[in-house]
Amino acid sequence: MEWLVYILVPMALSVVITPLLKRIACHLGIYAKTNQRTIHSGKIARIGGVAIYVSFIICMAVFMKADATMNGILIGGTIMFIGGLIDDMIELPPYGKLLFQIVAALVVMWVGGISLDTIRLPFDITINFSLVSIMVTLLWIIGITNAINLVDGLDGLAGGISAIILMVIACISVVEGRLDIQTMSLLLVGAILGFLFYNVHPASIFMGDCGALFLGFIISVISLLGFKGSTVMTLALPILLLAVPIVDTIGAILRRKLSGHKFSDADKMHLHHLLMQRFGHRNTVILLYIATAMFGFTAYAYIINKATGLVVLFVIGLIMELFIEFSGMISKQYHPILSLANRMYRKSKQLYYMFSKTNKKTK
């Protein structure tokens, strides 16, 4: 039952700290900003991520042994947290946030010795980055960090998705015998769950960039730690776990590129916004939790049985692609599978008509 302690202790700390942060935020006037992407109204504190960070750091000091790798993760994570906290208070420009992300990633590589040197894909395919590993590692950490930040648009969404991802990573770590990754993941899950007591709809406090960027950073680094010490936890697995935020991020990049807007420009065409128009706030969050859990199950299934995992992945991927095309998430002109299905349908109708006509003539 030791794993339960790793969840309950940081959860209790987070439950206690979060209300204090609401008072501090109200006193300092640190409220969530409104723009084209936000859906909340009224003054809501936006530094709830402090509770996640503090609970996690305290429990890491208590339950984990210090070494170069852990020091690199905690120092890099602290830099990322500070960057997010500054942004929550004074609104950093995009290049300012990017600078913090780059510095945090470089610290993890330099102090912690964590980098993506080799990727082992399914079917025993191995890609060796060697000299370009620094750039690939930077892109991975920055990409995943921002992906988690982008899905932080509905009450409880980023926190819940992160908790599900980390729980699956913890389960995979048990199979792989990586108790360090398991412990770290569970501690962060506990810290998130304590915060979610106040963040589920209707939220009384938001995690802010200090929380979303910190979560994204730690998740990206934990997945890299899995690559470094495991021959089975390959790139395909964390990509599966992070499928929802990754698809949303890629969709945002393509959508804004096609429409001539900057990537930093906010809009209401994110996956959660599209779902909310039809299913409402709370149901949309639940649906995205389920989608994340399904991708997590696929990753775990792949560990147990590769064939089963690939079949489940194909089905889920097809469903998500059809949703993107139906919803116009990227653009109204993007519908490759629907266009192909439509062409095949028209072709089959033509063949059926020709066949029927031929049968009538022969009779």
Encode pLDDT of 88-117 as tens digits: 998 899 899 999 999 999 999 999 988 877
Grade residue 233 by pLDDT with cuts at 50, 70 and 90.
very low
Averaged pLDDT score across all residues of the chain: 82
Number of neighbouring beta carbons within 10 Å of residue 207: 33
Number of neighbouring beta carbons within 10 Å of residue 110: 14
Classified as helix, coil or strand, 304 is: helix
Mean pLDDT along residues 326-355: 72
> Measured between alpha carbons, how far is 60 from 51 in angstroms, rounded to an integer?
14
> Measured between alpha carbons, how far is 202 from 287 in angstroms, rounded to an integer?
17
Task: Judge contact between 151 and 242, C-beta under 8 A.
Answer: no
Task: Judge contact between 261 and 129, C-beta under 8 A.
Answer: no
Lowest mean pLDDT among 2-11, 59-68, 92-101, 278-287: 278-287
> Measured between alpha carbons, how far is 23 from 137 in angstroms, rounded to an integer?
39
Report pLDDT for 37: 56
Grade residue 336 by pLDDT with cuts at 50, 70 and 90.
confident
User: What tokens appear for 250 in the block?
Assistant: 């890629």
Q: To the nearest whole percent, how much of the chain has pLDDT over 90?
A: 37
Whole-angstrom CA distances from 272 to 130, 214, 290, 329, 353 are 38, 21, 13, 10, 43
Residue listed under structure tokens 């339950």:
63
Per-residue pLDDT tens over the stretch 2-23: 889 999 999 999 999 999 999 9
Mean pLDDT along residues 275-291: 83
Mean pLDDT along residues 248-254: 73
pLDDT for 273 beyond 60: yes
Report pLDDT for 246: 77
User: What tokens appear for 70 in the block?
Assistant: 């852990």
Report which of residues 157 and 325 the model is more confident about: 157
pLDDT for 60 beyond 90: yes
> 76 phi and psi, to 5 degrees?
-60, -45
Lowest mean pLDDT among 42-51, 87-96, 178-187, 354-363: 354-363
Grade residue 306 by pLDDT with cuts at 50, 70 and 90.
confident
Per-residue pLDDT tens over the stretch 194-228: 999 999 988 899 999 999 999 999 999 998 886 55
User: What tokens appear for 192 in the block?
Assistant: 């998130």
> Measured between alpha carbons, how far is 238 from 272 in angstroms, rounded to an integer?
21
Ramachandran assignment for 40, one of left (phi > 0), alpha (psi -120 to 50 degrees), beta (any other): beta
* Cα 179 → chain centroid: 22
Task: Judge contact between 79 and 99, C-beta under 8 A.
Answer: no
Mean pLDDT along residues 24-34: 83
The bridge status of strand 118-121 relative to strand 125-128 is antiparallel
> Measured between alpha carbons, how far is 83 from 288 in angstroms, rounded to an integer?
28
Grade residue 69 by pLDDT with cuts at 50, 70 and 90.
very high
Report pLDDT for 231: 39
Report pLDDT for 173: 87
